[in-house]
Amino acid sequence: MREHIEKHHRDFVHLLDAIAVTDERGNSVEAQEGIENVCRAVEAQTQAGGKILAIGNGGSAVIASHIAVDYWKNGRMPALAFNDGALLTCLGNDFGYEHVFEKPIEFFAREGDVLFAISSSGRSENILRGARAGRRRGCYVITLSGFGADNPLRSLGTCNFHVPSHEYGAVEVAHQYICHCILDVIMQDRIDRVPAAAPIGEDGADELLGAGLPARAPTSGILSRRIRRESRALAAAQSR
């Protein structure tokens, strides 16, 4: 049993290193650069008045709900997931399940919003329709997919993360890791931009984490250093 546990751990660490990122034109982007681009976009878009929307089915729906809670509670960014039971059953009954995300996105999404579209297979029709609706509404669309590299969701985002695995559990955990990494980096970057001598009390820290971007976006170096620190920590865990 121990060998299976160790293999499971090794495989997942290697899987994180294999995550592929592409831009809206399908060009490959280095993974850390992709996360940095998303961090800067999420922070800038929400500080400009945009909100975060998240959609997913099954386990991906749980990730979507997790995003909605963490990004507003901890990150002080307006966020919501379209996972209400009445909403899903109403729209599924009236329009068909393939439209359950497309319809609310068409109504609630505004130009400048950020949409997380999550599907392990990258082939769920309601997620594909939701992502397309987000693009039509002028959203910055982040797709998270897995399974085959040719899945259609990978071509619909402004930034696309693909986890090259056909195991649902591994793909879902990797998606959750990416979403946490984005929020953690944004929050740490806010702290890093405060002068070291500035006193931060309990109330001050709360205001700081909700302060967001100043007029200019943070420099890439600060975010890159944070991402590199997380990567080194991951490598250290792998070597133990």
**Is the C-alpha dihedral spanning 48, 31, 82, 24 positive or negative?**
positive
CATH code, domain carrying 24: 3.40.50.10490
Query: Domain for residue 213, yes or no?
Result: no
CA distance 138 to 113: 7
Query: Domain for residue 6, yes or no?
Result: no
Query: Domain for residue 130, yes or no?
Result: yes
pTM confidence score: 0.82
CA distance 137 to 17: 33
* Number of structural domains found in the chain: 1
pLDDT score of 177: 96
Query: Domain for residue 237, yes or no?
Result: no
Backbone angles phi, psi at 159, to 5 degrees: -135, 135
Contact 79, 108 (CB under 8 A): no
Query: Domain for residue 207, yes or no?
Result: no
Please give the chain's pLDDT, 240 residues, in tens: 988 899 888 989 999 999 999 999 999 999 999 999 999 999 999 999 999 999 999 999 999 999 999 999 999 999 999 999 999 999 999 999 999 999 999 999 999 999 999 999 999 999 999 999 999 999 999 999 999 999 999 999 999 999 999 999 999 999 999 999 999 999 999 998 887 655 555 555 555 555 544 333 343 444 445 555 555 555 454 454
Query: Domain for residue 58, yes or no?
Result: yes
CA distance 204 to 170: 38
pLDDT score of 214: 38
